[in-house]
Structure formats: structure tokens, C-alpha cells
Chains A and B, each alone.
Chain A
Amino acid sequence: MADRKKLSLAVWKFSSCDGCQLTLLDCEDQLLAIAEHVHISHFLEATRRVENGPYDLSLVEGSVTTPREARAIRRIRRQSRRLAVIGACATTGGIQALRNFARLEDYIGAVYARPDYIDSLATATPITEHVPVDFELRGCPIDKGQLVELLSALLNDRRPNIPHYSQCIECKRTGAVCRMVATGTPCLGPVTQAGCGTLCPTHGRGCYGCFGPAETPNADSLAARFGAGGLGGRDIHRLFHSFNANAPAFREQGSPSDG
């Protein structure tokens, strides 16, 4: 495969914490191999050297929260042959999308000394609402195994093996004893897309839903199950309203005011 061209890569940040793009640098054992097959054209966390597009692949982290970002993503889309969104922010809006359920002025007034300096949109929205995307990697943050799989698939011209089914399937393959059934711990796994490597259920915790809704989530039924198990509407609301609060399947679950 010596004649294969290197894949030119650009990594972009929107409103986010940088955790997802840092996952790329976190691929310690694979980093040299990646550098051998991927040419970094734009990745400010790694190098100040910046090249113009077009790029073979853009990885986009973060959600759109300002008018400037809403313009920038269109420009990036035009320069990218393939565009993959990475992380909860880019795929559903992320934790900052909690603002979509509140009044932005209240947040800004509470946080900033000079609210008039802030030029922000009323909502935080996923990249997927602004431009067509070729691929989604979920998670808060994304999983490095899935990131390498995506790069490997693109380099080798094949479909990436990224599952869309529930976390429960991974629990069972791994042999984790179900948190919900064996301990009564509320768990979002049955409606959450697999991919994290069963982190929480193998550490005595229920799934927090970092990877967002699974392919056909029945969140109504799971919320009803939580309710029957003794959780109030407010607790149910909080469970669904974390990293992926803005995902359509999670948005309406529970009730913020009902104890």
C-alpha cells in the first residue's frame, strides 16, 4: 500500500471543551501509525502550522452557539470532502444546550460582569442542524478506538464498524452484571448508543448516556420504568438532561418542576 496517498486532515473546534479533539493526541500507541498515513493540515491543538483546504477529512468538535460559528461551519463544509462530527456537542448540542431550556439572558447575567460584551445565539445546536455531515462519532468525550476505526475505514475505503444499537448489548458481550436489574440503579443504557467500552456498568454505575440516543430509543418506556422504581419527574428529567439533553429522544423526558 506504499502508493496510497496520505489523508489530509483538518480538526475544527466550535463551542466545546477540547476533550474530543484531544482524544486524537491521546491515541498514544497508534499516534505514529496515524502520522504515517494522515497528513495534518489544520489542528491547532497540535501545531500552529495551518494549511488551506480543501481537506480530505474534517473532524468537527463542538456546537454552534454564536453567529460567527454558524457562518464558519458552512465555510468548513465547503472545504471538506468528508466531514465527521465528533462528540456530544457536535452531534446533539452538548451540555451547553441546557441553555435551550432556559433564558440565555439569565445565564449571561449570572456569569459575566459585562453581559453586553457577549454576542451569543439563544440556543446551542449540533453541527448536524447546520450542514450535511458524512459521519457521527458520539460520546462525551469520543472513544479513541472508534476514532482510529473511522480513520482506518476511510484510509482503506470501507464502512466504519460503529454500532448504533443499545449499550445493553455491549454489557452482555462484556459480561457486566446489569446495574439496573441487579441493583436498581437507574441506567440510560437501554436507550443509549453503545461505544464507550462499557465504562460505567463495569464500575458499578448506571450508564449516563454520553453516547446519546441509540438507533430506535424508547425513552418513554424507560422513563416510565424509572418512575415505577420510585424516581420523581425531576430526577428523571435530570437523568436525561445531561450531555445529550437536546437530543429529540431525551428532550421531553421527566419534568423539571415535579419533585
Chain B
Amino acid sequence: MLDGPLSDGATHALEPRDLDRLIAALRGRGYRVIGPRLGEDAVVYDDIAGTADLPAGWGDEQEGGFYRLRRRDDGALFGYTLAPQSWKRVLHPPRQRIFALSTGAEEVEMAPADPPDAPMALIGVRACELAAIDIQAEVFAEIDPGYVRRRESSLVVAVECAESAATCFCASRGDGPAVTGGFDIRLVEVVRDGRHLFLARVGSVVGADILAGLTCPEADPADLAFAADRLGRVAASQTRALDDSAGRKLGDFALHARWDEVAGRCLACGNCTMVCPTCFCTSVEDTTDLAGTRVERWRHWDSCFTLDFSYLHGGAVRPGAASRYRQWITHKLATWHDQFGRSGCVGCGRCITWCPVGIDITEEVRAIVPDENER
């Protein structure tokens, strides 16, 4: 929905009921509204109908291989950090039917394409997630019209982080925690002195139009100062970091002993690539009905951790976990630069949290690439 920056720099203050009106306005405009809500033991992104669906008073705690919901005492609606899976789920769906063919009376017929889905409004997109969406938009720009259509028709309501998880390292990647662009509306949630506000800025004409319809007052400069100060503290609170120049050198260490060490722990389960908001790999599968009169071609999320992923004539090129783990982080941090002009990691930390054995990409890079300052 991006249609150029806006000159109006004013920030408005929304109350929770205004946020509800915002969601209603989006629904009224025909958007399928997706935002955070309480799922099975985690805050997940799913369809929402209003603020009543938001995870009020829920936060989370994350570490390597560890996630727990935590109650908060401030009733914040966006007090969680990051959902288990990113917006990749809706912009680059895990299973897509590419086409279907049927044998008709005379000849083979292409089944009609599915009607395009309703445009989506994504509520609660974090800074690192916006960066990841930009990365995938670049990856898919020339090759996946479905992605381009879904991205371009989506409206983004970003929400800046009020705290980081222990697994976050967006600050060291330059991809957060500040939300600087790529949104239609940006919200900053402030709960203090008995008030609950959302400081709103617009980033597009559509965003401005929707916000204007709510007629909310301008924000109090004291609240803006509080939010700016807090954002600095969020960035400073991150204890993990991943230096981009170190990641880019991974290719020089293809025979490092650490690959075998990490392979001893790595389950080759693929969770890291599945939850990574930038990993884009898919495989294609053809199916038939029993009669052989209808075939369908499906595209699924795939991972460089499966054996079939590197199957060439006669066998898999990456038979063991060492070569598969090396492929994952070398692509993500080094060769991604050659392909797409930046790294494929935005520092969301999901691959750390959702790895069942807590393998930490920042720690692995430190163990493999010598620290420049120490040499």
C-alpha cells in the first residue's frame, strides 16, 4: 500500500477505543485484518476482529530453545515481543497450489485460477519484521507475482517494540528496534500514569486517510519524549549481537572444526529455516487423483536441512548436519550479500528461540570467525 512519504509530520494520540475504530475502519474497507492474539501457549498472528482479540496483558520470555508466555500487570496490548512465526506465513504461505489441470472431454484443461485473496491489513509488525518483508519483496520481485500482489495490496500498521526479548539482536543488524519506514501507520504503545495511548504517525496516503477519519488529538510532547527515550533503552538492552562483517567472512572457514561440533548438537530438524522471516525456499510437488484425470502442482516451504534439498543424481550433496548447518548460516550471512546486496538476517532471534536444542547463530559465528579486535 506504499504510495510515497507524507509531509505531515504530526503524531496523534489514540486511545484503545480509537484503535478498535481503526480496526473497524480497516475491515470496513475490505481488509482481512491480521494481528496478534493468544494462541496455544504463545502470542501468534491470526485473524482479529477488534482490540478484544489482542493479547491484553500478555508478554513472553525467550531464550535459546525456550519460550514462555508471561502475564504483565500493565494491560499492554502489544506487550509481547515476537510471535513464533513471522508475517511470512501470510505473505509467502507455507502451501500454495500453483495450478491444476484436468482432462476434459476433448483436451487437457487448465482449472480456473483461485480468486485473489482479500487485501490484508497487518497489525503489529515490528521493525525487524518490516526489514524481513523488504528482503523477501526483493527476493520475489521478478519471480513471484503472487508475493508481489500480496505485499502491494497489504496495509501495514507497525508497532514499535517497547522491549526486546533476550534473543533479539536487531540493533546490531541495523534493522531495529526503531520503525523508520515501510509502514502505512506506525504505532507506539505507551502505558503510564494511568493512561493507555498509541502514538500514531502515518507513512502513506492511505494511512493518512484512515487516521484522519479517526480525528484524534495530537500527541503530548512529554509522551513522545518518553517513547524516544524508551526506544534507546530497548536497543541498549540487547545482549546478543551479530557483526555483519564477521558473517560475510563465513565462506573463508568452510573447513572449520566447529561445523562438526555444531553437527553433534544440530537435529537437522529445519525449525530455524522455517521460522526465519527471510528464508524463502520452496519445493514443488505434483499430485494426481487415482483416475489420472486431474493433476495439481503444489509449492511448499522447504529447508536446506532436508536431505532431498540437495539431492542430485545419485544422492544428496549435503548428507550430514555439518554441511547443512554450514549452508544455512553461510547463505544467510555471507552469500546472501552476493545475491541480494545485504545479509539475510535481521536479528529477530527466532532461529535461536525455536531451535529445540537452542543453537545460537550469533554464538556459532563468534566461534568460527575470529574477532577482528582480538587479532
Closest B-chain residue to A1, C-beta based? B292
Q: Does A74 contact B (CB under 8 A)?
A: no
A148 CA to B288 CA in the complex, in Å? 10
Pair B271/A165 contact, Cβ less than 8 Å: no
In the docked arrangement, what's the CA distance between A152 and B265, Å?
39
Range for the number of chain B residues in contact with chain A: 35 or more
Contact B268 A4 (CB under 8 A): no
Which A residues are in CB contact (< 8 Å) with B292? 1, 4, 155-156
Q: Are A175 and B85 in contact (CB under 8 A)?
A: yes
Q: Given contacts A37-B290, A164-B308, A177-B84, is CB(A189)–CB(B269) below 8 Å?
A: yes
Tell me the nearest residue of chain A to B44, going by C-beta.
A177
* Residues of chain A contacted by B94 (CB below 8 angstroms): 172-175
Name which of A43-51, A116-124, A215-223 contacts chain B: A215-223
How many angstroms from the CA of A94 to the CA of B275 in the assembled complex? 33
With both beta carbons as reference points, the residue of chain B lying nearest to A229 in the complex is identified as: B65
- Name the one of A164, A169, A218 contacting B270, with C-beta atoms under 8 angstroms: A169
Instruction: Quote the shortest CB–CB distance from B104 to chain A (angstroms).
Output: 13
Q: Which of A56-64, A65-73, A102-110, A179-187 participates in binding chain B?
A: A179-187
Q: Name the segment of B35-43, B48-56, B118-126, B202-210 touching the other chain.
A: B35-43
Whole-angstrom CA separation of A183 from B319 in the bound complex: 32
Interface size on A, residues (CB 8 A): 45
A180 / chain B contacts, CB cutoff of 8 Å? 65, 356
CB distance from B116 to the nearest CB of A (A): 22
CB of A102 to closest CB in B, whole Å: 30
Per-residue CB contact flags for chain B residues 259-298 toward chain A (1 = under 8 Å, else 0) read 0000011111111001100000000011111111100000
The contact of A33 among B68, B271, B289, by CB within 8 Å, is B289
Query: Is A216 in contact with B268, judged by CB distance below 8 angstroms?
Result: yes
A92 within 8 A of B: no
B301 at the interface (CB under 8 A from A): yes
Q: Known contacts A181-B67, A190-B356, A221-B265; decide if A151 and B44 are in contact (CB<8 Å).
A: no
Interface pair B285/A168, CB less than 8 Å apart: no
Q: How far is the CA of A68 from the CA of B106 in the complex (A)?
A: 54
Distance from B319 Cβ to chain A, minimum over Cβ atoms (Å): 8
Interface of B is mostly: loop
Q: When the two chains form their complex, are residues B291 and A177 in contact, meaning their CB atoms are under 8 A apart?
A: no
Q: Does A52 make an interface contact (CB < 8 A)?
A: no
Q: Decide yes or no whether B354 CB sits under 8 A from chain A.
A: yes
Are B66 and A169 touching (Cβ within 8 A)?
Answer: no
B232 at the interface (CB under 8 A from A): no
User: Is A182 a contact of B267 with CB atoms below 8 Å?
Assistant: no
Chain A residues in 8 Å Cβ range of B356: 168, 178, 180-181, 187, 190, 222, 225
Which residues 167-215 in A have Cβ within 8 Å of B in the complex?
168-169, 172-178, 180-183, 187, 189-191, 204, 215
Known A-B contacts A30-B290, A155-B292, A161-B287; A178 and B267 likewise in contact (beta carbons under 8 Å) = no
**What does the 1/0 interface line of A127-155 toward B look like (CB < 8 Å)?**
00000000000000000000011011101
- Among A156, A181, A222, the residue within 8 A (CB) of B66 is A181
Q: List chain B positions with a Cβ less than 8 A from chain A.
A: 39-42, 44, 65-69, 84-85, 89, 94-95, 103, 264-271, 274-275, 285-293, 300-301, 303, 305-308, 319-321, 353-354, 356-357
Further contacts, 19 of them, CB under 8 A, given A155-B292, A172-B275, A182-B41: A36-B290, A151-B290, A155-B290, A168-B270, A169-B303, A173-B94, A178-B271, A180-B65, A181-B67, A182-B40, A183-B41, A187-B356, A190-B267, A190-B269, A190-B356, A216-B268, A218-B264, A218-B266, A221-B265
27 contacts between A and B (CB under 8 A): A1-B293, A4-B292, A30-B290, A148-B290, A151-B290, A158-B286, A164-B307, A165-B303, A169-B274, A172-B271, A172-B275, A173-B95, A173-B300, A181-B67, A182-B41, A182-B42, A182-B69, A183-B41, A190-B356, A191-B267, A216-B319, A218-B264, A218-B267, A218-B268, A221-B264, A222-B267, A222-B356
